[in-house]
Chain A
Amino acid sequence: MSFLHIENLTKKYIVDHETFLGVDNISLSINRGEFLSIVGHSGSGKTTLISIIGGILKPTSGRVLLEGVDICAFDDNRLSEYRSRRIGFMFQFASLLPILTAKENVLLPGIFKPGQKTDNDTVARDLLEMVGIGEKLDSYPSQLSGGQQRRVAIARALLNNPDIILADEPTGDLDEETEAEILQLFEKINREQGVTIILITHNLELAGTAQKKYRMSKGCLVDI
C-alpha cells in the first residue's frame, strides 16, 4: 500500500443553486518521500485538492488514506491533530502572524501540539538557519522581505517534523531568483529529511523539477 492514497475524491460546491465540481473523482497514489508538482489554471481545483489532503476541507465523497487510515472520517479534533503532527502547510501569501517575531512564528504550531516544547530557542534558530535566515530570529514579518517571509513559513512548516509539506503556490509573488532559492530549499528538505512534498504552482518550469508532475483541469488530474 502506498504512503498516501487518494481514492475517487470528489468535491462539489453549490453556488446560486448551481453545482460545481472542484475535484472530480480523482485517484492518486503517492509514496513516502516523493516530490510531486501540480500545475493548472486558477479555479482548476488545485487548492481544493491539497486542502482536502491537508484536512482543512471535507470532500463530498471519496477517501484520503494516509498509511491506510482514512482521514476524511476524522472529526474536527482528530483532523487538527493530523494537521499538527503530519502536515506542514505553506500558502500562496505571506502567512506569518504580524504580531510575532520570526522565531515566535516558527514556534507557533508547537502551542497546538501537546508535549511540544515552545520555549526552545535552539529549535527555532536551527530551523531558521536551515532556511538561511538565522540572523533574523527576532525580526517581525514587516521587517522581512517576501522571500525571507516564505523562508520563515517553511521553517514553521518543519517545526513538528511533518510527513508531508503541502505548498500552495508558495512563490507566486516572488521574483525569479528568490523563487529558485525557495525551490532549492524544498528539494533540500525532500532529499535530506525525506519529507513528501506536494507543490502547487502556475510555473511549468518550476513544476518540472519535481519527480512526478501532474496537471489539473476542471477538477481532473492528469499526468504530464
Chain B
Amino acid sequence: MAQISFFSVALKNLKRKTFRTGVLVFAIALLVSLLIFAISFTVSVASSLKKSSERLGADLVVVPVGARGFAEEFLLESKNTSFYMPGSIIDKVEKIEGIENLTYHTYLSSISGLCCDIMPTRIVAYNPATDFIINPWLQESLGRPLQPGEAIAGSGTSENLGLGLLDIEATIFDNRFKIVGVLEQTGTGLDHALFMTEENLKNIIASGKSPLKKGDISIIFTKLKKGYDPDFVGRVLEGQIPEVDVVARSDMGEKFISTLADINKIFLLTTVLASVLTTFLVWAIFSAIANERSKEIGIMRALGAKESHIVKLYLMEVLVLGLLGSLVGVLAGTYLSAMLAGSFSLLKNISAGLTGGQQTTIALIGLLIGTAICVTGAMMPINRIKKMEPLLVIKEE
C-alpha cells in the first residue's frame, strides 16, 4: 500500500540531504543540552538549598559570632568544620521574646579506629529531650531513641565509607560506640554525619582527644511563636547577645545564592547567544531550502496545494527537526549534568539532586524551547516559500 502524506513527504525531504539535516539536529541538540545543563544545575542547587533549610525545621539558626559561613558549610555543604560557643548562651536565647522552643547541636570532627582506615567524618551530638531535627528522622529509621554508647550514621556517611555499618563497633575519641543503623536520606549536609546523644560528650571530653570543652555547643536551632517575624527576632537576638550571629531560614545558603546568581548570568548569556546562533542557522538553511525547492513548490501549487499546505509541509519538516534535535539535546544535557556534577565544587559539596518531576519538567522545557527556536528560525523562509508566485518559480531556470 502506497503511503503518501505531508508527513512522509517532510521526512523524505529531510533525508534528501542527510549531512545538512545532521548539522541542524546537532546545532539544536547542542543548544538544548546547554539549556538542560544550565537549568538542571541552577534548579538542583536552588532546590537543594531550599530543601536543606526546610528540613532543618528551624526558623532561626544561632551560631557563634563570625561562624555563619562555617555553619552553612556544615549544614549545607557537608564540610568538616568545628565551631563552638558556651552553652550558657542557650538560656539567653530562650529569654528572647518570640522564641517558642529551641534545641542545640555540638559538632565534632573525625572518627578513628573503625574496623579499617576511613576518611574523617563529622559527629553531631544532640539533646534528645529538646531535639526537633534528628528525632523525627531517628523515629523513621530506628523506631526508638539512641542510647548512650550508640550512634547512627547519616545516609551519606554509610555511602562514603562503603560499609555496611549496622551492628559494628567504632572507636570514637577513645570511646567505643555501636553503630545501630543508617538514617534515611534527607538531602541536607547532615546526611554526611554520625549522630549520638550529648550524654556521650562527657566521655569524649574526658578522653582529651577532642578540642571540645565542657558545656560548649556549636549551634542553636530555634522555632518562633506564631506571628513573629524571623528577621525582627534575629535582629533582637544579635542586639542582645553580641556573641552570636543569627541566620533566618530564608537566608540560609546566601553565599550559594549569590554565587548561583552570577553563574545564572553566565548561563543566561551563553544560552541566549546559542539561541540566536541556532535561530540564524535554521533561518539560513531554510532560506537555502526555499531557493533550492522553489520550482517544486511551484509545481505543488499548480497541482492544487494551498498556501496553508505548503506551510504545513515545511512546518512538519521543521517540527521533526526541532523535536529530534531537542530530544537528542535533552538526553545529552541530562547525561552531561550527571557526568559533570562532580566536577563543580558547588554541586559536589551539597546534596544536589533533581526529583523525577523536576527532571521531567526540565526535559519538557528543553523540548519546547528547542522546537520553538527551530520554528522561529524557519518561519520567515516558510512565509516566503508560501508566497512564491507559482508561474515565476516554475519558469525559473
Contacts and interface: CB of A to CB of B under 8 A. Distances in A.
A91 B299 contact: yes
Interface residues of A, number: 37
B395 interface: yes
Interface string B119-131: 0000000000000
Q: Which of A89, A113, A120 has the most CB of B within 10 A?
A: A89
Contacts of A27: none
B12 interface: yes
B296 interface: yes
A157 to B, nearest CB: 8
A99 B13 contact: yes
A84 B303 contact: yes
Given A57-B391, A95-B299, A99-B16, A109 B304 contact: yes
B302 A104 contact: no
B306 to A, nearest CB: 4
Contacts of A185: none
Contacts of B6: 111
Contact of A80 (B3, B298, B306): B306
B4 A112 contact: no
Interface string A83-107: 1110101010001011110011001
B390 A56 contact: yes
A148 interface: no
A91 B394 contact: yes
A56 B299 CA distance: 10
Contacts of A48: 391
Contact of A112 (B16, B295, B303, B389): B303
A112 B305 contact: yes
A210 B301 CA distance: 28
Contacts of B2: 103-104, 107, 118-121, 124
Contacts of A113: 304
A177 interface: no
B4 to A, nearest CB: 5
Nearest to B313: A111
B159 interface: no
Given A76-B307, A104-B2, A119-B3, A112 B300 contact: yes
A157 B4 CA distance: 16
Nearest to B387: A76
A23 to B, nearest CB: 12
Contacts of A118: 2-5
A84 B391 contact: no
B304 A119 contact: no
Given A91-B394, A111-B4, A118-B5, A97 B296 contact: yes
B303 A109 contact: yes
Nearest to B7: A111
Q: Which 7 pairs of residues, A with B, have the shortest CB-CB distance?
A: A84-B304, A56-B390, A99-B12, A112-B304, A80-B306, A109-B303, A89-B302
Interface of B: 1-6, 8-9, 12-13, 15-16, 295-296, 298-309, 389-391, 394-395
29 contacts: A51-B390, A51-B391, A54-B302, A56-B301, A57-B390, A77-B307, A77-B308, A80-B301, A81-B306, A83-B301, A83-B302, A84-B303, A89-B303, A91-B299, A97-B299, A99-B9, A99-B16, A100-B4, A100-B9, A104-B2, A107-B4, A108-B4, A109-B304, A111-B9, A111-B309, A112-B300, A112-B304, A121-B1, A156-B303
